[in-house]
């Protein structure tokens, strides 16, 4: 187990060349959902479903970044950030998801990228941060293989347009959320509650990633990088009783290993069939898919927010044949006396250490890692000491993980500014910059000033985390290749 020593607040320095940035996503900040020929996305549709999003909010206006991007680039310059991770809205560029390109949509990203580069800020472009064109959803969405092919075509369109100026490409953001939260639990767009469909979506997202990597590689110049971003949450059993440990392992499969094993382990996770065999026959898998999915990448993006503390819980439906798709007999709990964020999320920097060190020890061929998201949610106070503490302690844990051998190259704070937090709407705020949604006035918070000072002199003093990691993928055998493969 890791140990965090609160008394040992040693100063640690990040190496020269470490990348410092902030991150956002198209649907969360752009607004302007019908400007300049943008097509509909599944989030436009989802937000119109009664009860889907808190207070019936949507990304229709968001931060109006589509019109105010210059001001936002100026904020990044003030921060001293050397990099900016943003996503492209697929339906802005290809309103039907395929077919004719919408030049006006592309031009928006061209202008943004030019301004970033002029300001000395390196763009990190995410191709898919959840806003699938509705036209593709109408043809089956990520449940169907064709969407993976269309994604690779879209990647090619984007490289054609921005490849001269963008050297860092991220295919997917958090495929767990797209597939399981969107197609399995229905809490995100498209709001489906399917078992087989969600697992097919996970597979096709990974396949689309692999196809897009190959396509980008064909066109890329030396030094350009392609990666993928996963959200990682170590799962911790509340007791060492076998039933809790097994529950933690099932949760770990659902959230983490379902994705890391085929990407970096060369096989599907060994417990996929045992855990999900009752809801799918895996008929969406084809020979050769694993090789495509496992195409080597230049980096892994890790989004880390919290660990999951889990215990075994009774299945809601005793009959396995009738059980709902993602009832894994697991309950997530908040440990007593846990430090929590303004949103009640457990704050445990050691979980970031465990993620980084755990991945490094499990996957010998793991590429370098960028922390592509890490941040603190609250209700938007300007004197946000809780966010400063969170950032400081997670940066300290990052340094400790690097000392323990993790190859981490950069850190992107989520988020540059408050934005549309999906099903929670606008009430949850993660920004270094406060946004008044009535006036669109941006106001840097205390954390913005703290981060600016930190980027100028990246020395962090915070609790020290050490130790081997024994839970991220504890005791779970490496994956299996399908029969006949
Ligand atoms: O806002 C999200 C982001 O879109 C994906 N990662 C987690 C963030 C906070 O919930």
- Residue 37 near residue 95 (C-beta atoms within 8 A): yes
What is the Å distance from ligand 1's center to 375 Cα? 9
Q: Tell me, what's the pLDDT at 476?
A: 63
Ligand 1 atom having least distance to the Cα of 28: 4
What is the Å distance from ligand 1's center to 303 Cα? 9
Q: Tell me, what's the pLDDT at 467?
A: 82
* Ligand 1, pocket residues at CB < 6 Å: 25, 28, 174, 303, 373, 414, 421, 430
Q: Tell me, what's the pLDDT at 291?
A: 98
Sign of CA dihedral 72, 432, 159, 285: negative
Mapped onto helix, strand or coil, the DSSP state of residue 360 is helix
* Confidence category of residue 480, pLDDT binned at 50, 70, 90: low
Mean pLDDT of 217-243: 97
Name the nearest CA neighbour of 140 among 38, 284, 37. 284
- Residue 426 near residue 36 (C-beta atoms within 8 A): no
Mean pLDDT of 15-36: 98
H/E segment holding residue 411: strand 408-414
Ligand 1 atom having least distance to the Cα of 373: 6
Mean pLDDT of 253-274: 96
- Residue 293 near residue 210 (C-beta atoms within 8 A): yes
Mean pLDDT of 131-160: 98
Q: Tell me, what's the pLDDT at 231?
A: 98
What is the Å distance from ligand 1's center to 313 Cα? 27
- Residue 363 near residue 357 (C-beta atoms within 8 A): no
Mean pLDDT of all residues belonging to the chain: 95
- Residue 180 near residue 259 (C-beta atoms within 8 A): no
Q: What are phi and psi of 218, to 5 degrees?
A: -60, -30
Mean pLDDT of 271-299: 96
pLDDT greater than 90 at residue 429: yes
Q: Tell me, what's the pLDDT at 142?
A: 99
The set of residues, in sequence order, having a beta carbon less than 8 Å from that of 271 and lying 6+ positions away, is 249, 250, 253, 476
Distance CA 302, CA 469 (A): 17
pLDDT tens-digit readout, 322-361: 677 789 999 999 999 999 999 999 999 999 999 999 999 9
Ligand 1 atom having least distance to the Cα of 422: 1
The answer, as to whether pTM is greater than 0.85, is yes
Closest Cα to atom 2, ligand 1: which residue?
Answer: 421
174 is catalytic: yes
Cα 71 from chain centre: 25
* Confidence category of residue 473, pLDDT binned at 50, 70, 90: low
Domain boundaries, the chain: 18-455
* Confidence category of residue 120, pLDDT binned at 50, 70, 90: very high
* Confidence category of residue 468, pLDDT binned at 50, 70, 90: confident
Mean pLDDT of 397-420: 98
Instruction: Tell which one of 62, 174, 346, 412 to mutate to probe ligand 1, the residue whose CB is within 8 A of the most ligand atoms.
Output: 174
Cα 218 from chain centre: 25
* Confidence category of residue 217, pLDDT binned at 50, 70, 90: very high
Angle, helices 145-162 vs 103-118, to 10°: value is: 50
* Confidence category of residue 307, pLDDT binned at 50, 70, 90: very high
Between 460 and 480, name the one with better pLDDT: 460
Q: Tell me, what's the pLDDT at 188?
A: 98
pLDDT greater than 60 at residue 204: yes
Length of the chain equals 485
Name the nearest CA neighbour of 471 among 230, 199, 181, 255. 255
Fold for 18-455, please state it: TIM Barrel (3.20.20)
Q: Is 244 left (phi over 0), alpha (psi -120 to 50) or beta?
A: alpha
Q: Tell me, what's the pLDDT at 477?
A: 62
- In this structure, the number of other CB atoms found within 10 A of the CB of residue 117 comes to 13
pLDDT greater than 70 at residue 381: yes
Distance CA 122, CA 224 (A): 12
* Confidence category of residue 75, pLDDT binned at 50, 70, 90: very high
pLDDT tens-digit readout, 293-305: 999 999 999 999 9
Q: Tell me, what's the pLDDT at 235?
A: 95
Pairing of strands 330-333, 308-312: antiparallel
User: Rounded to whole angstroms, what are the CA distances from 218 to 152, 166, 196, 298, 301?
Assistant: 12, 15, 33, 14, 21
Instruction: Tell which one of 25, 26, 231, 414 to mutate to probe ligand 1, the residue whose CB is within 8 A of the most ligand atoms.
Output: 414
Q: Tell me, what's the pLDDT at 472?
A: 52
What is the Å distance from ligand 1's center to 421 Cα? 7
Closest Cα to atom 4, ligand 1: which residue?
Answer: 25
- In this structure, the number of other CB atoms found within 10 A of the CB of residue 159 comes to 23
Ligand 1 atom having least distance to the Cα of 419: 1
Q: Tell me, what's the pLDDT at 366?
A: 97
The mean-pLDDT minimum among 9-13, 161-165, 251-255, 288-292 falls in 9-13
**% of residues, the chain, pLDDT over 90:** 90
DSSP 272: H
Q: Tell me, what's the pLDDT at 325?
A: 77
The set of residues, in sequence order, having a beta carbon less than 8 Å from that of 95 and lying 6+ positions away, is 37, 38, 39, 40, 102, 105, 133, 135
The three-state DSSP-derived secondary structure of 163-225 is CCCCCEEEEEECHHHHHHHHHHCCCCCCCCCCCHHHHHHHHHHHHHHHHHHHHHHHHCCCCCE
What is the Å distance from ligand 1's center to 288 Cα? 32
Q: Tell me, what's the pLDDT at 264?
A: 97
Name the nearest CA neighbour of 355 among 307, 410, 296, 298. 307
Closest Cα to atom 1, ligand 1: which residue?
Answer: 421
Distance CA 233, CA 246 (A): 16
The set of residues, in sequence order, having a beta carbon less than 8 Å from that of 367 and lying 6+ positions away, is 227, 296, 297, 298, 299, 300
Distance CA 180, CA 420 (A): 20
Of the listed 57, 122, 354, 373, which one is catalytic? 373
Q: Tell me, what's the pLDDT at 478?
A: 67
Q: Tell me, what's the pLDDT at 484?
A: 52
Ligand 1 atom having least distance to the Cα of 231: 6
Mean pLDDT of 254-268: 97
Distance CA 393, CA 389 (A): 6
pLDDT greater than 80 at residue 475: no
pLDDT greater than 70 at residue 470: no
pLDDT greater than 60 at residue 485: no
Q: What are phi and psi of 107, to 5 degrees?
A: -60, -35
Q: What is the DSSP string of 286-316?
A: -TTHHHHHT---SEEEEE----EEEEE---S
Of the listed 174, 194, 350, 354, which one is catalytic? 174
Q: Tell me, what's the pLDDT at 469?
A: 78
**% of residues, the chain, pLDDT over 70:** 96
């Amino acid at each position: 187990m890791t140990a965090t020593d609160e008394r040992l607040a040693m100063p640690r320095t990040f190496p020269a060349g470490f990348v410092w940035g902030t991150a956002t996503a198209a649907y969360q900040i752009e607004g302007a959902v019908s400007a300049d020929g943008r097509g509909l996305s599944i989030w436009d549709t989802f937000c119109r479903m009664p009860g889907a999003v808190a207070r019936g909010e949507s990304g229709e206006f968001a931060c109006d970044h589509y019109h105010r991007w210059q001001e936002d680039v100026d904020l990044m310059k003030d921060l001293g950030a050397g990099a900016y991770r943003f996503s492209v809205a697929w339906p802005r560029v290809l309103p039907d998801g395929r077919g004719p390109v919408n030049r006006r949509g592309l031009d928006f990203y061209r202008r943004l990228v030019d301004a970033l580069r002029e300001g000395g800020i390196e763009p990190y472009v995410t191709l898919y941060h959840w806003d699938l064109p509705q036209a593709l959803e109408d043809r089956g969405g990520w449940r169907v293989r064709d969407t993976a092919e269309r994604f690779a075509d879209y990647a090619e369109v984007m490289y054609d347009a921005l490849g001269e100026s963008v050297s860092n490409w991220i295919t997917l953001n958090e495929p767990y959320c797209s597939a399981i939260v969107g197609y399995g639990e229905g809490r995100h767009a498209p709001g489906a509650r399917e078992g087989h469909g969600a697992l097919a979506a996970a597979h096709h997202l990974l396949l689309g990633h692999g196809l897009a990597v190959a396509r980008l590689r064909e066109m890329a110049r030396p030094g350009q990088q392609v990666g993928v971003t996963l959200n990682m949450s170590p799962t911790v059993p509340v007791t060492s009783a076998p039933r809790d440990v097994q529950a933690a392992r099932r949760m770990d499969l659902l959230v983490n290993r379902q994705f890391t094993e085929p990407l970096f382990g060369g096989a599907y996770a060994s417990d996929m069939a045992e855990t999900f065999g009752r809801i799918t026959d895996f008929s969406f898998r084809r020979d050769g898919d694993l090789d495509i999915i496992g195409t080597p990448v230049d980096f892994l993006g890790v989004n880390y927010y919290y660990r999951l503390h889990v215990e075994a819980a009774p299945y809601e439906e005793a009959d396995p044949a009738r059980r709902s798709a993602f009832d894994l007999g697991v309950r997530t709990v908040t440990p007593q006396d846990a430090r929590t964020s303004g949103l009640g999320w457990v704050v445990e920097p050691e979980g970031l250490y465990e993620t980084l060190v755990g991945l490094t020890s499990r996957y010998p061929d793991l590429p370098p890692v960028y922390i592509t998201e890490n941040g603190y949610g609250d209700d938007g106070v300007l004197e946000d000491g809780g966010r400063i503490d969170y950032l400081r302690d997670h940066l300290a844990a990052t340094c400790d993980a690097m000392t323990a051998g993790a190859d981490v190259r950069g850190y992107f704070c989520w988020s540059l500014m408050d934005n549309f937090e999906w099903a929670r709407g606008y009430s949850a705020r993660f920004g270094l910059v406060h946004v008044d949604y009535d006036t669109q006035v941006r106001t840097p918070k205390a954390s913005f000033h703290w981060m600016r000072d930190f980027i100028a002199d990246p020395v962090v003093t915070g609790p020290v985390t050490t130790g081997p990691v024994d839970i991220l993928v504890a005791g779970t055998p490496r994956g299996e290749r399908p029969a006949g493969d």
